[in-house]
Amino acid sequence: MINVSGTMKQIKRNKNGKVVLPKSSALKPCQKSISISSKSLMSLYKYINNEIGLPYKLTSRLNQDYLENFFSRIICIGRNHSHPNAVKAIDFRILVISGTEKIVV
Burial of 78 (0-12, 13-18, 19+ CB in 10 A): middle
- What are the residues whose beta carbons fall under 8 Å from the beta carbon of 77, sequence distance 6 or more? 92, 95, 96, 101, 103
Model pLDDT for residues 52-103, shown as the tens digit of each residue: 888 877 777 777 677 777 777 777 766 666 677 788 777 777 877 776 666 5
* pLDDT confidence of residue 95: 76
CA distance 90 to 95: 9
* pLDDT confidence of residue 76: 75
Q: pLDDT band at residue 105, thresholds of 50, 70 and 90?
A: very low
Q: pLDDT band at residue 33, thresholds of 50, 70 and 90?
A: confident
**Mean pLDDT, rounded, for 17-22:** 69
Contact 21, 29 (CB under 8 A): no
Q: Report helix, strand or coil for 13.
A: strand
**Number of other residues whose CB lies within 10 A of the CB of residue 64:** 9
User: Rounded to two decimals, what is the model's pTM?
Assistant: 0.40
